[in-house]
């Protein structure tokens, strides 16, 4: 796991000092080594910068930027190619010669052999930039699930790219102007969906895409090489439950085994829930030694999963490490959140995630998470709730639903302390699109509320989804493409890399979703039961009595802290005079929400938390 940063400057004014400054800003992503290469030519000045966290081939053979003997192709690469040994053997048979044991070198030779189509051969997570001098092109690619981040900034004469936005601030020509069109989506979702970012002219490279920049013309093109919707749009497999169970478990075992490849100590995050227990069970069941498992506990039993994970670890026989976090340790994370998350980010579980990463890093360099299980197998409570609500709506003939929506009076939204439930109902009735319905049910703020909160035009996402025509498939594909990539994976990448810990995601091997997407709905959810297939696999390794318990979120009691221990910090950040000068919020509405919160009358703390984290971010990056 590493960090990449660089530029393509058609004015040819960018310097090696600027490149080093951008690269060093990502020191936390790679404390073991660094490298910079500046290419000056008639077309552009190109900078490739790299920070290394050594995981595979710890020798100098893994140093980057890396080139081939002819020095006509260069690469900087963040991530892991888990099947690199198989690809390497194939390339050797084709005549390629290798000088290292690095998976980075395998990417270079794969590109030499198959061009950019080599992406389809990789099982892994990656964000890389590859410079082909002969073709005068730069390719920048991101893995299928979007595990590894890639950002870019583009103006007619300057192109910046990197693993995190903070690197761009070190280039003197980067203009940090807020992208107001992205603010409504942040307050809807708690994150900014790809390809937008908080800044103008600045983008996230979407999952399963690569950019091709032609240095001769200065033009760039975005190319999609993989889309999860393609697999949900395939015909449902005619397969028995037992065969589906066997094949799913086989793919899981292969995927999990790949994620154990490392030349450094490795562990597994274990919450005691089905997803992490599945990872631990399958790995321990196929290991001759005790795997290391880690969990974080809290004194407040409402948020404490440590007792469950301890019981699972004892049954499986893992080497278990349990760390109990104090309230002060959790509180101390909050002021540094905008440094870790250099774009506004509203997922409260970023705090305990950062804490467990810090603890794990004391023992290991690589940690396996279990993200993706809920998106694959329909495990979130909102999946059940949304299906129930949307199915009821679609039982109404479209003309009747629209008629009701048209005459239903708007509710008052003078006070945003209470959600606009009537507005959600109207939106649900007026749309027949499954994904729009799902977003309506689950958004933190709806469109009317956003217009009351923000002094910006409410535009929303322009992305058109290729609907499968199946409600559950549409929901799961959408969650995989956006919530998973833009919230969960963003959270885990920044939390882990802030401590120089590599996080791996065994459920996000693309072979799993490509298969599970085609399975019948009833193997995932039926009659109120969720994650049916995955639970049956886990029950082969762990007793049902040990596993069956209510699903817990990974959270902390922020809503009470800001009225007590963190009250001073809260008011310091929520500076109403500064907010007036920003001219982004209708500050009177924010004041009402704050007063309601302090009086214990705010219905949904997450809505106020989004304003708080935005203001924290603004204070760090815009002042």
The 10s digit of each residue's pLDDT in 72-90 is: 999 999 999 999 999 999 9
Looking at residue 592, its pLDDT comes to 95
Looking at residue 387, its pLDDT comes to 92
212 and 317 in a single domain? The answer is no
Looking at residue 332, its pLDDT comes to 93
pTM above 0.85, yes or no: yes
Q: What distance in Å separates the CA atoms of residue 331 and residue 491, rounded to the nearest whole number? A: 17
Q: What is the mean pLDDT of residues 109-135?
A: 98
Looking at residue 327, its pLDDT comes to 82
Structural domain contains residue 336: no
Q: What is the mean pLDDT of residues 456-466?
A: 66
Query: Could you please report the per-residue DSSP string of 359-398?
Result: HHHTT-SEEE--TTHHHHHT-SHHHHHHHHHHHHHHHS-H
Q: What distance in Å separates the CA atoms of residue 525 and residue 507, rounded to the nearest whole number? A: 18
CA-closest candidate to residue 118, choices 106, 100, 135: 106
Q: What distance in Å separates the CA atoms of residue 205 and residue 344, rounded to the nearest whole number? A: 17
Query: Which helix (H) or strand (E) segment is 490 a member of?
Result: helix 489-497
Give the CATH number for residue 11. 3.60.20.10
pLDDT(553) > 80: no
Looking at residue 403, its pLDDT comes to 83
Structural domain contains residue 123: yes
Residues 6+ apart with CB under 8 A from 134: 72, 73
Structural domain contains residue 368: yes
CA-closest candidate to residue 481, choices 521, 435, 445: 435
62 and 169 in a single domain? The answer is yes
Q: What distance in Å separates the CA atoms of residue 236 and residue 517, rounded to the nearest whole number? A: 8
112 and 6 in a single domain? The answer is yes
Q: What is the mean pLDDT of residues 410-414?
A: 77
Structural domain contains residue 595: yes
Looking at residue 404, its pLDDT comes to 84
217 and 75 in a single domain? The answer is yes
Burial (CB count within 10 angstroms: exposed 0-12, middle 13-18, buried 19+), residue 152: buried
Structural domain contains residue 312: yes
Structural domain contains residue 65: yes
* Domain end call among 436, 456, 471: 471
Average pLDDT, the chain: 93
Confidence of residue 519 (pLDDT cuts 50, 70, 90): very high
Looking at residue 534, its pLDDT comes to 98
Q: What distance in Å separates the CA atoms of residue 177 and residue 287, rounded to the nearest whole number? A: 51
pLDDT(463) > 90: no
Contact 78, 46 (CB under 8 A): no
127 and 72 in a single domain? The answer is yes
Q: What is the mean pLDDT of residues 550-576?
A: 86
Confidence of residue 464 (pLDDT cuts 50, 70, 90): low
422 and 277 in a single domain? The answer is no
Confidence of residue 92 (pLDDT cuts 50, 70, 90): very high
- Number of other residues whose CB lies within 10 A of the CB of residue 238: 7
| pLDDT tens, position by position, 278-309 | 999 999 988 888 999 998 877 766 666 788 89
pLDDT(407) > 80: no
Residue scoring higher pLDDT (383 or 265): 383
pLDDT(461) > 60: no
Confidence of residue 555 (pLDDT cuts 50, 70, 90): low
Looking at residue 397, its pLDDT comes to 85
- Number of other residues whose CB lies within 10 A of the CB of residue 101: 17
pLDDT(462) > 60: no
483 and 464 in a single domain? The answer is no
Confidence of residue 551 (pLDDT cuts 50, 70, 90): low
pLDDT(460) > 60: no
pLDDT(465) > 80: no
* Domain end call among 471, 487, 507: 471
243 and 197 in a single domain? The answer is no
Contact 127, 208 (CB under 8 A): no
462 and 569 in a single domain? The answer is no
Residue scoring higher pLDDT (57 or 226): 226
Q: What is the mean pLDDT of residues 573-601?
A: 96
Query: Which helix (H) or strand (E) segment is 451 a member of?
Result: helix 447-453
Confidence of residue 231 (pLDDT cuts 50, 70, 90): very high
Burial (CB count within 10 angstroms: exposed 0-12, middle 13-18, buried 19+), residue 331: middle
Looking at residue 76, its pLDDT comes to 98
* 2 is annotated as an active-site residue: yes
* Domain end call among 421, 448, 471: 471
285 and 428 in a single domain? The answer is no
Whole-angstrom distance between the N-terminal and C-terminal Cα of the chain? 31
Structural domain contains residue 337: no
DSSP 206: P
94 and 237 in a single domain? The answer is no
Structural domain contains residue 583: yes
103 and 6 in a single domain? The answer is yes
- Number of other residues whose CB lies within 10 A of the CB of residue 447: 17
Give the CATH number for residue 315. 3.40.50.620
Domain count, the chain: 4
pLDDT(323) > 90: no
| Domain carrying residue 460 | 381-471
Q: What distance in Å separates the CA atoms of residue 415 and residue 408, rounded to the nearest whole number? A: 20
Pairing of the two strands 66-67 and 151-155: unpaired
Residue 35's DSSP bridge partners are: 50
């Amino acid at each position: 796991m590493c960090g990449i940063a660089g530029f393509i400057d058609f004015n040819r004014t960018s310097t090696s000092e600027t490149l080093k400054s951008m690269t060093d800003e990502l020191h936390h992503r790679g404390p073991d080594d660094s490298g910079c290469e500046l290419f000056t030519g008639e077309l552009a000045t190109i900078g490739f910068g790299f920070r290394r966290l050594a995981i595979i081939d710890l020798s100098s053979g893994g140093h980057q930027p890396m080139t081939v003997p002819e020095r006509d192709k260069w690469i900087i690469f963040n991530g892991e190619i888990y099947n690199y040994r198989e690809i390497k053997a194939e390339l050797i048979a084709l005549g390629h010669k290798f000088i290292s044991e690095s998976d980075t070198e395998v990417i270079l030779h794969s590109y030499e052999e198959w061009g950019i189509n080599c992406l389809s051969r990789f099982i892994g997570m990656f964000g890389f930039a590859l410079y082909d001098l002969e073709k005068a092109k730069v390719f920048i690619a991101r893995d299928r699930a979007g595990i590894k981040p890639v950002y870019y900034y583009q103006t007619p004469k300057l192109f910046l790219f990197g693993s995190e936005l903070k690197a761009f601030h070190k280039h003197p020509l980067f203009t940090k102007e807020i992208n107001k069109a992205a603010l409504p989506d942040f307050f809807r979702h708690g994150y900014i969906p790809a390809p937008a970012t908080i800044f103008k002219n600045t983008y996230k490279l979407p999952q399963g895409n690569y950019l091709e920049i032609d240095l001769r013309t200065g033009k760039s093109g975005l190319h999609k090489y993989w889309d999860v919707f393609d697999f949900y749009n395939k015909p449902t497999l005619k397969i028995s439950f037992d065969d589906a169970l066997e094949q799913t478990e086989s793919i899981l075992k292969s995927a999990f085994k790949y994620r154990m490849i490392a030349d450094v100590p490795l562990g597994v995050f274990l919450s005691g829930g089905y997803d992490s227990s599945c990872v631990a069970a399958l790995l321990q069941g196929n290991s001759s030694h005790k795997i290391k498992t880690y969990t974080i506990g809290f004194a407040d039993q409402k948020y404490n999963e440590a007792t469950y994970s301890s019981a699972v670890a004892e049954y499986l026989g893992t080497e278990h490490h349990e760390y109990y976090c104090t309230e002060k340790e959790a509180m101390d994370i909050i002021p540094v959140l905008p440094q870790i998350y250099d774009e506004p980010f509203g997922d409260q579980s970023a705090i305990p995630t950062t804490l467990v990463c810090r603890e794990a890093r004391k023992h290991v360099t690589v940690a396996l998470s279990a993200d993706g299980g809920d998106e694959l197998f329909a495990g979130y409570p909102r999946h059940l709730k949304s299906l129930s609500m949307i199915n009821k709506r679609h039982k109404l003939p479209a003309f009747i639903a629209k008629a009701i929506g048209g005459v239903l009076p708007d509710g008052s939204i003078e006070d945003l302390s209470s959600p606009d439930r009537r507005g959600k109902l109207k939106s649900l009735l007026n749309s027949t699109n499954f994904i729009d319905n799902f977003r309506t049910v689950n958004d933190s703020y709806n469109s009317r509320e956003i217009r009351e909160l923000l002094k910006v035009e409410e535009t929303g996402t322009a992305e058109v989804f290729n609907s499968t025509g199946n409600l559950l498939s549409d929901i799961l594909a959408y969650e995989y493409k956006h919530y998973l990539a833009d919230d969960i994976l963003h959270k885990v990448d920044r939390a882990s890399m802030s401590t120089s810990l590599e996080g791996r995601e065994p459920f996000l091997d693309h072979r799993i979703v490509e298969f599970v997407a085609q399975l019948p709905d009833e193997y995932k959810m039926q009659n109120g039961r969720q994650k049916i297939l995955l639970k049956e696999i886990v029950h082969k390794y762990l007793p049902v009595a040990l596993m069956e318990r209510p699903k817990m979120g990974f959270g902390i009691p922020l809503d009470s802290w800001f009225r007590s221990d963190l009250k001073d910090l809260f008011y310091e950040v929520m500076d109403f005079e500064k907010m007036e000068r920003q001219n982004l919020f209708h500050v009177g509405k924010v004041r009402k929400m704050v007063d309601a919160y302090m009086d214990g009358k705010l219905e949904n703390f997450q809505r106020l938390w989004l304003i708080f984290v935005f203001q924290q971010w603004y204070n760090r990056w815009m002042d």
